[in-house]
Structure 1
């Protein structure tokens, strides 16, 4: 039997480099040794509160020191971490508590009202983190936990709840092995993380990207994490300069924000390593960022069900803009026929199909949903639901989500391709393309745009349509253009296209 704990990511640093700075959050500065001691204290309190190995413990907190302290304490006690999205309503959070079977909920004062109500609805006790008065704190134990509680390598470590865009949220079970391997491979094989790096933790830690790449991978290499509780581009630039941050992980919306903040910033951070994921990074944004910040962006790809990283542009293989690079060490990423559900039939290089993944990063399954698990895990591969290609050199490109493809007059139109073109319009800052029902063509292409702040004159729908006709094929250019001040974003800063489809659907 192989035993392993994701908590070892922090524990080993406390053994090897106890005096090194691990965490910065506001005025809080903790070494690895100090943070680990706090983790053992909190883990002992959890055990005293009745948490046993294998028990799910929910965690609801922003990017403050309380999050990693509680996260690793749950793991050290042998529990399973259930991160709760901060933007969920009390009813939605209660569903997560009930579905996961959470023994208790650890919550920060920033989400006090929703947390307390969710606990009431789910009949789950709530404990306050960081001295909040909205709920009792965990009673302190007489002594810290003597040592972390190890688990079998294939036991669940974290349950990530999917966004529920196609029905109720599903809890994806990630093992200690999958999470440790993903952090290790990200740190040492894919991303060249170094012990003297300082990474900005601006991605939500309750989300798989922030949790694995910003926190676990950074600490796996013994580097420092600087937390930003709520992402604001101007504040992020100032914080990165002040703390000497050289590593940034973000989603496309964050890179857009940093570009805007750079227009008025007195000084820019000296970035060495930039990772983009969560959604496809438009090529114009990548080009503008690399030019302005003088740092290369390594775009990657993954999902909650893949721990998350499956592929990324890596220095060893060379980078190729517009792709998500090569599969990470020990993982296969291939393209399968999307129309075949019952088996995996791989396609040759260059052909468009569904992206499928297998390897140490793939999840155990969906909690309590054997049918959904069987649909997702076929012949040892995880079906991602994304459409993409893999060229003869092994570079993977993501075209779009299967569900986001617009079928206009029988022709497939991939929104990302249209968005890439629209973002080259000088008066367009952000773009989201959706399909809306149309009685003639089945679906019509609608572009929802955020104008560039310095656009003069302001663009009109007619201008954009005319410009698009010159740069896109007849079946691809948008016939409808809407302007908004900001695109709707989910907790992980992804554009919520389902909200746009509902907003602009014909009445």
Structure 2
């Protein structure tokens, strides 16, 4: 039996009364969690969901997310986690591309999801904090034993954008996720059954889902959830729930460190902190460690690598500023354009091989072949490796903007801007931001006679694309820099000095 859901059923059988989730002062045990998931699985089967069918989740970090996540897997389905901030047009693409038959949706997002489901015919199931709302998904005998799935069957499809084209669905297998969760909880963070893991990373994101939820469930630890990250709320939960393991992106560490309530936080329970998503500024790392007396370990990974590929391991020397060494079961190297390994200390693209690498991109064989041409996944990240196998990211091969740990892809935003009636050309670039690392900026050239203002373009964009993606700063130029072929040279686009 290789279904990922056995991670839950095994723990529920061994520790039914142990708290699986902590939410707003209440504990939910592993036994009850498994029981609620079994009901969802039975209802999905009764409503026509077959093994391999895709089911989407559009929920914040509330207990309903783990309930339906495990329920979909118990029924043999494939989970498609989606960012709740997506707009109807984006949702339409995700539903249509994945073929999602059902989507579990938080009430605040039902209107947008319903509009987005019109073409795909996806059935929207509204959810309350604990699971599907009464009367929305009924019937069926609970499925307490996971439907059998193969190691290489797809458990999760995580959508990840590239700098060209629409988002692609990375297919993570039951084996990919199970092994990465086992290594995250065992080798990397040494999670124990009595640990309380901070669940402030979004569960729709691979870091929070695999390294948070699945890894905690794997050993029977507790996951303390807050619906959406707020530093003040995180400080309260760390103090009140005696959190022992904090997982976050660098902006979360900075927000807690700089919060007015930081001095009042009881951090005596913290014993391990993991950071990923983007490079952590050394001053933030030092400040957090000095203030709260705990070590921050940095790692690296992508949706396509389930996610963890490298980490500063607790039993080895920590090298601040690096992303550590390749984790067990995973090989990493820096390669040139031909795929040849570059010498130690020289810059190359990180290539990854191992049992954490995805099966491929959903229904995109050409994109899969391009990303994994020779068994090694090309990450698009440029790095150096030292003589002890520690990697240091130096730049991005792609033009991705990393805003507060969330990936923003310029082309997607540019394509939206090009639909504005007054915009002739657009180039979206990252701008340095002290709090978020990078902020989204856009240079636009207007059509002749157009009178739209930068502020109006910002507001227009805000209504049509997820909140973390729209440009916070727009500036108007006469024309954008171009190369000999007429291609816009994004690297030569810079925000005006008064920004």
* CA distance in structure 2 between the partners assigned to 1:350 and 1:152 by the alignment: 41
* Residue of structure 1 equivalent to 2:474: 503
* CA distance in structure 2 between the partners assigned to 1:31 and 1:392 by the alignment: 46
TM-score by length of 2: 0.80
* Residue of structure 1 equivalent to 2:374: 379
* CA distance in structure 1 between the partners assigned to 2:225 and 2:357 by the alignment: 28
Once the two structures are superposed, what CA deviation does each residue of 1:438-477 show, in whole Å capped at 9, x if it has no partner? Answer: xxxxx9x99634489xxxxxxxxxxxxxxxxxxxxxxxxx
Once the two structures are superposed, what CA deviation does each residue of 1:249-305 show, in whole Å capped at 9, x if it has no partner? Answer: 101111110111266542332311110001111112111111111111000000000
* Residue of structure 1 equivalent to 2:36: 38
Of 360, 364, 380, the residue aligned with 1:365 is: 360
Matched, 1:351 2:346: yes
Query: Pairwise mapping of residues 192-203 of structure 1 onto structure 2 (< 5 A)?
Result: 192-203=190-201
* Residue of structure 2 equivalent to 1:119: 117
* CA distance in structure 2 between the partners assigned to 1:222 and 1:253 by the alignment: 28
Instruction: Extract unaligned runs of 5+ from structure 2.
Output: 403-407, 411-426, 437-460, 479-499
Of 75, 78, 88, the residue aligned with 1:77 is: 75
Shift of 1:70: 0.1
TM-score by length of 1: 0.79
Matched, 1:389 2:384: yes
* Matched position secondary structure for 2:117: helix
- Contact 1:57 1:104 (C-alpha < 8 Å) held by counterparts: yes
- Contact 2:125 2:132 (C-alpha < 8 Å) held by counterparts: no
Shift of 1:217: 0.9
Instruction: Extract unaligned runs of 5+ from structure 1.
Output: 406-414, 417-431, 435-442, 453-487
* Residue of structure 2 equivalent to 1:403: 398
Shift of 1:110: 2.9
- Contact 2:163 2:399 (C-alpha < 8 Å) held by counterparts: no
Aligned length: 427
* CA distance in structure 2 between the partners assigned to 1:506 and 1:321 by the alignment: 41
* Matched position secondary structure for 1:12: helix
Query: Pairwise mapping of residues 35-434 of structure 1 onto structure 2 (< 5 A)?
Result: 35-130=33-128, 137-141=136-140, 143-261=141-259, 264-270=262-268, 271-337=270-336, 339-340=337-338, 344-404=339-399
Once the two structures are superposed, what CA deviation does each residue of 1:212-255 show, in whole Å capped at 9, x if it has no partner? Answer: 11111111121100100011001110111011111111011111
* Matched position secondary structure for 2:383: strand
Shift of 1:398: 1.2
**RMSD of aligned alpha carbons:** 2.9
Shift of 1:403: 2.5
* CA distance in structure 1 between the partners assigned to 2:380 and 2:476 by the alignment: 24
* Residue of structure 1 equivalent to 2:22: 24
- Contact 2:44 2:75 (C-alpha < 8 Å) held by counterparts: yes
- 125 and 136 in structure 1: CA distance in 2 versus 1, 3 angstrom threshold: farther
- Contact 2:256 2:262 (C-alpha < 8 Å) held by counterparts: no
* Matched position secondary structure for 1:39: helix
Shift of 1:134: 9.1
Query: Which range is displaced more, 265-274 or 299-308?
Result: 265-274
- Contact 1:234 1:265 (C-alpha < 8 Å) held by counterparts: no
* Residue of structure 2 equivalent to 1:11: 9
* Matched position secondary structure for 2:51: coil
- 264 and 17 in structure 1: CA distance in 2 versus 1, 3 angstrom threshold: closer
- Contact 2:101 2:121 (C-alpha < 8 Å) held by counterparts: no
Shift of 1:28: 3.9
* CA distance in structure 2 between the partners assigned to 1:67 and 1:367 by the alignment: 23
* Residue of structure 1 equivalent to 2:489: none
- 104 and 352 in structure 1: CA distance in 2 versus 1, 3 angstrom threshold: same
* Matched position secondary structure for 2:142: coil
